[in-house]
Amino acid sequence: MTPDKPDLDAGACLHISTTWVAAFNGALAHPEVATLDALFLSDCHLRSVLAFSWTLETYSGTSAVCEALRHISDDHKLGVITLNAQDLQPHCVQRAGEWTVECLLTFSTPVGPCEGVLRLCSDGSGQWKAWSLVLALIEIAGHEEAYKRPQDASASNNRSFQGPNWKDKRDARNRFEDREPEVLVVGAGQAGLSVGARLRQLGVDALVVDQNARLGDNWRNRYHALVLHNQRHVNHLPYMPFPETWPTYIPKDKLADWFAYYADAMDLAVWMGTRFVNADYDAADKRWCVTLETPTGEKTVRPAHIIMATGVSAIPNRKKLPELQPFEGPVIHSADYQTPDPEKFGSVVVMGTGTSAHDVAQDLAENGVKVTMVQRSPTMVQNVEPTAQLPYAIYGKALSTDVCDLLTVGTPMALYKASSRLSLKVAEELDKPLIEGLKKTDFKVNVGEDGVSWQLMYLTRGGGYYFNVGCSDLIINGQVRVVQSDQITSFEASGLTLASGEHIHADLVITATGYLGQREMAARLLGDALAERIGPVWDVNSDTQELNNMWMETPQPGLWFFAGSLAQSRIYSKYLGLQIQAKLLGLM
């Protein structure tokens, strides 16, 4: 049952926040255990995002939080923490099912200015205590992003007609003929471009490489009908928001063209048609020796850092399904799918019921092809709007993207999970007609693993859900058929046979069998031994409450992984960039 909203006006919220912050400053100045304990709830959470160490770390419970704060107070000499009411007034808002007084903070450490998010809850006795406190580094003092620094107007106003112009100089710089890149970014999708732009602004010499022929091909080459499944205002890249004139859901070709424009506008050094062959790390020199296969031949570069930005779904899982061996027709992976000729492929079987499988099936059905989907495990289904957009509720309103990003970073994993469970309950009610319709067919619906919604499934396994943009309706009305894998007796030369004796003809089989993750990519490019040393990549670590080896340096010095949605790429590129800048400055 949702608790009643406290009767708090703006003045009361400001008083509650101001009182707590004053007490917290006093406690940090004299960090006796009891003083700090009295300011936090028993189920509190503290997240530091580079604020007190060069990593992302979360502490939970009064004892762990207060112990961490005592060490922080001893080691880092925090400046006075103050409310940031300019960007967001303290206000009463429901977060993860609890009514909180939420406010933004500002402070500094010897490294640089910081910001934070504080959420206070009533302890039931009239006292307001911290439920979550997240503190994050904004920038390294004296090494701010280039656009914030005073620029030399005389250099840009030089009108000499002799020597190289701006483009000549940029092209020469991007060839790296006279120096080595400090950072090699592998992959020019949203992750690689975002972190490349951050590094460029931080004064870090980075080279981005991608094996595709053109910038944006990682989106451009996907199936014809693809559009993003979340809304434009959530997906901006760093420094350059999408135009307000754009459609709410961005088509893949529009996004692909924007990537090319973005890289040019942000002055990034990008080598396309360049394949990462292998790399060895020189521990003495603290540099990599990387072999690249470029359009003009093999080239060796020696960066201090490699960022693997090849995506959560790095490699299509093209492992052959043994049951398909008798089938004599063509078999392709969904990653290779393009709308086929319905006269040649009039009947198609799609293996899988994830997002790609649904999109492929819908495209086929709408082009006159008879489609059968084979479901191997239950799949979560939510309508793309409004249900699938619930996790992004704070975006697109009166708040700036920067404030929304800070509030997102300011949500520790425990609150994120609690919010996800509540989101799932809302989704179940909103999508009740859809789910009931699917259950009347042979489609099996996953109603939530451990009670959490799709966003936690994305963080833990990278899939297992579908946002309905029409395919579920086709399944319900019988235009797309679903059969369960355990109903299949065998595959044969011309299709599959069900236990009922029915034969389903197939001219083509499309395997929507998912993708292999970044660890597999690391094993292929850097070797099994190094991949073993790194350990898991992605998925939530139950001990640290952070993603494994993501946005932080791995156990292998100089190796980083960076992936995620456009929003994640925008948000966390800032913190990865700051870590590498700190490394190069000798601060880490």
Q: How is residue 540 written in tokens?
A: 């939530």
354-405, pLDDT tens digit by residue? 999 999 999 999 999 999 999 999 999 999 999 999 989 899 778 999 999 9
Q: Where is pLDDT greater, at 339 or 570? A: 570
Query: Looking at the DSSP assignment, which residues form a beta bridge with residue 292?
Result: 276, 299
As a 3-state breakdown, the chain gives helix, strand, coil percent values, each rounded to 5, of: 35, 25, 40
- Residues 6+ positions from 198 with CB-CB distance below 8 Å: 145, 238, 573, 574, 576, 577
CB of 128 within 8 A of CB of 101?
Answer: yes
Residue 8 to residues 16, 101, 327, 507, Cα–Cα distance (Å) = 10, 9, 67, 65
357: how many CB neighbours lie within 10 A of its CB? 24
CATH number of 325-514: 3.50.50.60
Q: Residue 202's closest CA among 575, 567, 556?
A: 575
pLDDT band at 1 (very low <50, low <70, confident <90, very high): very low
Measured CA to CA, the distance from residue 77 to residue 331 in angstroms comes to: 62
Length of the chain counted residue by residue:
588
CB of 452 within 8 A of CB of 87?
Answer: no
For residues 495-519, give the mean pLDDT. 92
E strand spans, 124-274: 128-137, 183-186, 206-209, 270-271
Is CATH 3.40.630.10 correct for 10-137? no
**pTM confidence score:** 0.93
Measured CA to CA, the distance from residue 472 to residue 382 in angstroms comes to: 9
Neighbouring C-alpha atoms within 13 Å toward the C-beta of 333: 14
For residues 405-432, give the mean pLDDT. 93
Q: Mutual orientation of helices 401-409 and 566-585 as an angle, nearest 10°?
A: 80
Lowest mean pLDDT among 68-82, 123-137, 218-232, 305-319: 68-82
Q: How is residue 32 written in tokens?
A: 């006796």
pLDDT surpassing 50 at residue 132: yes
For residues 415-422, give the mean pLDDT. 91
Structure confidence at residue 29 (pLDDT): 83
CB of 315 within 8 A of CB of 523?
Answer: no
CATH number of 168-314+517-585: 3.50.50.60
pLDDT surpassing 90 at residue 150: no
Where are the domain boundaries for CATH 3.50.50.60 in the chain? Answer: 168-314+517-585, 325-514
**At CA 562, angle to CA 556 and CA 563, rounded to 5?**
140
Measured CA to CA, the distance from residue 420 to residue 452 in angstroms comes to: 5
Q: Are strands 128-137 and 40-49 parallel, antiparallel or unpaired?
A: parallel
Structure confidence at residue 158 (pLDDT): 63
C-alpha distance across the termini of the chain, in Å: 47
CB of 137 within 8 A of CB of 114?
Answer: yes
pLDDT band at 107 (very low <50, low <70, confident <90, very high): very high
Measured CA to CA, the distance from residue 415 to residue 421 in angstroms comes to: 10
For residues 417-438, give the mean pLDDT. 93
Measured CA to CA, the distance from residue 306 to residue 308 in angstroms comes to: 6
Where are the domain boundaries for CATH 3.10.450.50 in the chain? Answer: 10-137
